[in-house]
Chains A and B, each alone.
Chain A
Amino acid sequence: MLEIRNLHASVNGKEILKGINLTIKDGEVHALMGQNGAGKSTLSNVLVGNPAYEITEGTVLLNGKDLLAMKPEERAHEGVFMSFQHPVEIPGVSMVNFMRAAVNAKRKYHGEEPLSASDFLKLMREKRKIVELDNKLANRSVNEGFSGGEKKRNEIFQMAMLEPTFAILDETDSGLDVDALRIVAEGFNKLRTPQTSAMVITHYQRLLDYLKPDIVHVLLNGKIVKTAGPELAQEIETRGFDWIKEEIGL
């Protein structure tokens, strides 16, 4: 369970998050919507410990543990994963070495032996299938020269490898063609367990048709201003955000 209480954060001295309160229970999928620049990616980055963002107030508990006190890698080991809105290219670091380092670091954290080379490659093969990631991509440097859609698919492949219990998808649908979106979304659903929860950021209903969120939030101007069921996403798809702004008197 993730509990965010009164979270304030700024970047370069400018306050972006102005008191976020949000609880995501095990097994739940929450959608987070809101206009460009509202602070959705900022919230995601703060949760995964990106040092570019400064937390000025508030607490975040993950399964009762103080998330904000952990290093980014510890958060990952504790089950937090973020599918980046803009995945980074890392020339010269092969996907295999990258994933091996990630998987084995997590195993070490949990007191497990590193995977043997053959077991690891077998795991890569299995997980590639879930999102139909081309073997050629898996043999290249991390995201280097990947198309926009390939990068997003690669994010969910990494999620499959790391089996997080709390996943943040930051506009994973953007850049994916219709078929790729279906494959990636269905892949995500296959990876879900009763313990997995997720925060899904998107501007469009299409991804949510697959993921079937339990709850939809609207983030505006650094605050969650509206929370409702999946029907809220439908309404935003047709009506935009202006009516919500009016409702709250913005």
Chain B
Amino acid sequence: MTGGQKYISQNAEGALLISIPKNVQVEQPIRVTIERQPGEPLEEDRHICIEMGESASACIILDDKIKEADEPTKTKQEILVTAGENSKLQLYEVEETHFEHERKSQITVNQKAYSNVTLLSLTLLSGHTENTTTVHLNGEGAETNLLGGVIADGHQHVENHTLIDHAVPNCQSNELYKYVLDQDAVGVFEGRILVQKGAQKSVSQETNANLVSTKTARMFTQPALEIYADDVKCNHGATVGQLDEKALFYMQQRGIPYDEARMLLKFAFVGEVLDQIPLEAFRERLRHLVEKRICGELPSCGACKLCK
């Protein structure tokens, strides 16, 4: 049991509560692995509540690893995060489920003054996923980093809907979501940045970049800025592109087989998101997982073309 595990509890309704008291710095990452045991219901309603006390800091990893069952599985998840004044939270969510899994997840984050939250949502493997992330910057000086990575193939469908709400002045938000779509996968990104009236000196950067590597995969993206203050620095942008043919050929000329060159490019593309993860050991683990996923080596992957 790592140091932080003692801050986890479960209430009578089965909700998971992670509460870090004021001024406590949890050194080791708190890791929660979600699995379904055989015989357990196919549908799950999950509630997680994370409370960061004033000046507390922690890193929480949620590994969603629901395995394939005889029938499709389903998860409804609600995560509620309160980041107290000056607290620091890194919350990493990794979905590595299966093609017959449906997931609807809703994360709501309320940030107090000078809190700093990094959220990562990484969809490595899934069937139909809809993630909704809402961050309210309610206290001055609060900072949020929203990171997202999606690797999808087969008939996967992955949606991310995000809203960052700059409710008060002097807050900062960075958002980067990257999708790599192959085969018939469908990706959706909807990212709204709201700067409320009076939220002066808000700084916000939102980027959604997508790599669509087949003619049949599709990406829908809609970044949106809604600004009701006049002294702000906000940027947003979205791109949808294909694998760089010139780079592929350059690699082949050096002897790297075409398929491997494609994988290297895909990995490089998502790598930019992983680069921003401050926790080094975890970043390396994710790199490894992403690499395996892109190479078609994930144990739970049986349908992508490299596995056949």
Contact = CB atoms under 8 A, between A and B. Distances in A.
B253 interface: yes
Interface stretch (A15-23, A58-66, A81-89, A218-226): A81-89
30 contacts: A48-B253, A71-B257, A72-B249, A72-B252, A76-B253, A76-B254, A81-B253, A87-B250, A88-B244, A88-B246, A88-B250, A90-B265, A90-B268, A91-B268, A92-B265, A92-B267, A92-B268, A92-B271, A92-B272, A93-B247, A93-B264, A93-B265, A93-B268, A98-B251, A101-B260, A101-B264, A103-B255, A105-B255, A105-B260, A142-B250
A73 B252 contact: yes
Contacts of B256: 73, 98, 101-102, 105
B151 to A, nearest CB: 15
Given A92-B268, A101-B264, A106 B255 contact: yes
Interface of A: 48-52, 71-73, 75-77, 81-82, 84, 87-93, 97-99, 101-103, 105-106, 109, 141-142, 158, 162
A79 to B, nearest CB: 10
Contacts of A106: 255
Contact of B257 (A49, A73, A87, A99): A73
Given A71-B252, A71-B257, A73-B255, 15 more contacts: A49-B252, A49-B253, A72-B253, A75-B253, A76-B252, A88-B244, A89-B247, A90-B250, A90-B268, A97-B264, A101-B251, A102-B254, A102-B255, A105-B257, A162-B254
**Chain B interface residue bracket vs A:** 20 to 34
Nearest to B254: A102
Interface of B: 244, 246-247, 249-258, 260, 264-265, 267-269, 271-272
Nearest to A80: B253
